[in-house]
Chains A and B, each alone.
Chain A
Amino acid sequence: MMKKDIYVLSAKQISMQQPLCEDWMTQPVEYQTPFNRSIDPSFKDYISPIEARRMGKILKRAIATSKEAIKASGLDSVDAIITGTGYGCIENTEFFLDALSKDGEQMLSPTYFMQSTHNTISSLVAIQTKNHGYNVTYAHKGISFDSALQDAVLQMRLGKINSALIGGHDELTETFYRILKKGGMMGQDDEMCGEAAVSVVLGTNNDDYLCKLVNFKMLHKPTLEKLKAVAKDFQADYILTGISGNHKSDKAYFAETKELFGDAKLLKYKHIFGESFTSSGIGVYVAAQCLKAGKIPAHLFVNPSEISDKKPSKILIFNHSDGNNYSLTLLEA
């Protein structure tokens, strides 16, 4: 897919791990509980009180990570802002639905409605950064971030843009966690659920970057043959899988990676970052930071006997969201 050099210039996160830093590499925060909200930084440096008062957590996190990622990229601004969110602004949707269901159809809050639409995240980031460029939001469960990434890559190949801020944002309230678990959407078996806010800046300029984005592909319900054919262009020594504690999904990851990538070493990240609909964005962040640092933390290895401090050259982020939608993102140092 790639015919142009594309670089990951920067990547920032707010999640179950310490926010806006890479402390998780050496001192990961450990969790045992099945549902966890993120560790938030102070948002005062990013948003004025009069603006912040209306914003739920997902919006504040999007602004903070976006501003940090743009700053770290060295760019003054980006040509496009493209966001992925699986479920959108759950807190505000919940407030509105709650009021609608319990109090009826009168006297409803416009703020909750306004802040509940999926694209309010991307739009707010544009307002805050005064950005008139291409702006789009994807909402397709576990490949929302991936769809956003794909869009940026397509446009860079077409020469329409030279940089893009890709966001992956999802939040989770206790109520929605219980609902989604009941519906079989997440929280199955030993799966630990969390929230993800990740902002990645892609660019075609290679002055200073975390890693190169070498290849990318998304597939829907592919046959094994199709996957094998595609996987030929995605070979890497390390495969960052979405192993999460969901037994069916994990079993599939083991089987598929063996079939597609042979003896490549398997890595995981959801044991410390949790599962969310845009956790594939966290996967890209994790892989990019490992490639920049020149090492993979021991606790990411699925198989302890494979732990190595060899400098990684390529990491593939392999995501098979709900078993139906696959994405492969190949990063190189």
Chain B
Amino acid sequence: MTNPILITGCGVVSAIGNNKAETLDALLNNRSGVGPLVHLKTEHKEFPVGEVKMSDDEMRKRLNISDNNITTRTALMGMIALDEALKEAKITPEMIPNIGFISGTTVGGMDMSEQYYLDYVNNENHKEYIAVHDCGSCSEMTAEHFGKFAFITTLSTACSSAANAIILGANMIRCGEADIVVVGGSECITKFHLNGFNSLMILDTQWCRPFDATRAGLNLGEGAAYLVLETEESAKRRGVKAQAILSGYGNACDAFHQTASSPDGEGAFRAMKEALELADIQPDKIDYINAHGTGTPNNDASESTAVKRLFGENVPPMSSTKQFTGHTTSASGSIEAVFCILALQNGFVPVNLNWSQPMEDGIVPVHQSVKKELKHVLCNAFGFGGNDSSLLISKPEL
């Protein structure tokens, strides 16, 4: 890419922290946020999850939203993360009408719909929540808390939604459609997809073990993260510095199965390769890969194969951070992008927690704390249906 795309601000909320500072502390101290279910009202208490440590009421209070307003959990988490990102990038309310907002989600307002569905069908109760069920309305609810953005759209590609939102934002900037676009995603845990994943028998009743021989499934998580993408010229004009650079990205389709990844990891391989090519960076320059690494037998095997195909004998340090947060599904691409930015800024490799046994033909992840100067990192996000994306994030040149 000829003109660099700067990341001038970011915000994150997940099971390991309600902002970047708390998140960094947890990552550096190997402190996972996965544990028993607290907020979601479900029969399935047997599954460890990475819930955000705030109730909806607490988030409303934080955001100064009165109880009379209709909100959904996904939108609330989104607002908290968006708030942090806008502040870091020094974006004022007056600037909002010239800025785009692109968000990724799959559940949207399902946390409400699943509670009120029978009311929707049978009576007039709670009908005000019908209009906030869909993904787009969720993005608008999140955005409108801050003003009227110039354009808003929503991506929904399951676990790569936020990563693809970042890609669209970058393409819009490169085409001159905007100088600044805020991109990312948000997703709360719902009974709908907790049960959905359970019906696919890919949830683990134990703490997940990505890339471990004994891995048996994923733990669900929730959270939100947004990045402010900006042209160099705009950042200079505004006097804001880059937190990181989005150097490259790739999106490819596995085209294998609706819920399983291919044995040869074709989609993942192509997405990563495209990211490197766009950045014009050779594989040996990658200092760290933040894996999709869900801890399912299928993903970790497929992703290992794809990585080995691309990097050969020289696989860079690699880890999954889903043992920290759980699998935050649609938001994972942006949440983990923020983890990569924190890693670049603070010179460390996030540990692949809860690992002890190498898997057959798998990558051996970084399982002990490593301090290392990082310049270029890859961040993978692979969605159900083979929607595979990869982001290449770099440290700004001094």
Contacts and interface: CB of A to CB of B under 8 A. Distances in A.
B385 A182 contact: no
Contacts of B136: 86, 139-141, 143-144
Interface string A176-191: 0011101111000000
A315 interface: no
Interface stretch (B54-62, B71-79, B112-120, B297-305): B112-120
Contacts of B158: 117, 119
B318 to A, nearest CB: 23
Candidate in B44, B148, B201 with the most chain A CB atoms within 10 angstroms: B148
A323 to B, nearest CB: 12
A149 to B, nearest CB: 11
Interface string A111-129: 0011111111011101101
Contacts of A136: 155, 157, 164, 168, 251, 387
A130 B117 contact: no
B134 A130 contact: no
B258 interface: yes
B356 interface: no
B137 A135 contact: no
B157 A218 contact: no
A118 B156 contact: yes
B114 A100 contact: yes
Contact of B266 (A1, A117, A132, A144): A132
B106 to A, nearest CB: 6
B156 A184 contact: no
Contacts of A219: 150-151
B152 A325 contact: yes
Given A86-B136, A117-B106, A220-B149, A131 B157 contact: no
A119 B114 contact: no
A184 B158 CA distance: 27
Nearest to A121: B385
Interface stretch (A29-37, A154-162, A293-301): A154-162
| Prevailing SS type, chain A contact patch | mixed
B29 interface: no
B346 interface: no
B385 A117 contact: yes
Interface in B193-251: 193, 195-201, 251
B151 A81 contact: no
B385 A123 contact: yes
B365 interface: no
A221 B134 CA distance: 19
Interface residues of A, number: 66
A108 B195 contact: yes
A46 interface: no
A110 interface: yes
Nearest to A88: B156
A134 interface: yes
Given A131-B255, A135-B252, A179 B130 contact: yes
Interface string A137-180: 11111011001001100110110000000000000000100111
Given A179-B130, A324-B140, A119 B148 contact: no
Contacts of A141: 134, 136-137
Given A87-B134, A100-B195, A135 B154 contact: no
A114 B200 contact: yes
Contact of A97 (B137, B192, B201): B192
Contacts of B174: 154, 158
B164 to A, nearest CB: 5
A118 B135 contact: yes
Interface of A: 1, 81, 86-88, 96-98, 100-102, 104-106, 108-110, 113-120, 122-124, 126-127, 129-141, 143-144, 147, 150-151, 154-155, 157-158, 175, 178-180, 182-185, 218-221, 324-325
Query: 8 closest pairs, A vs B, by CB?
Result: A183-B130, A123-B385, A140-B136, A113-B196, A135-B253, A139-B135, A139-B156, A118-B156
14 contacts: A1-B175, A86-B136, A88-B156, A101-B118, A110-B199, A117-B385, A123-B385, A133-B253, A136-B157, A139-B136, A158-B174, A179-B130, A220-B148, A221-B148
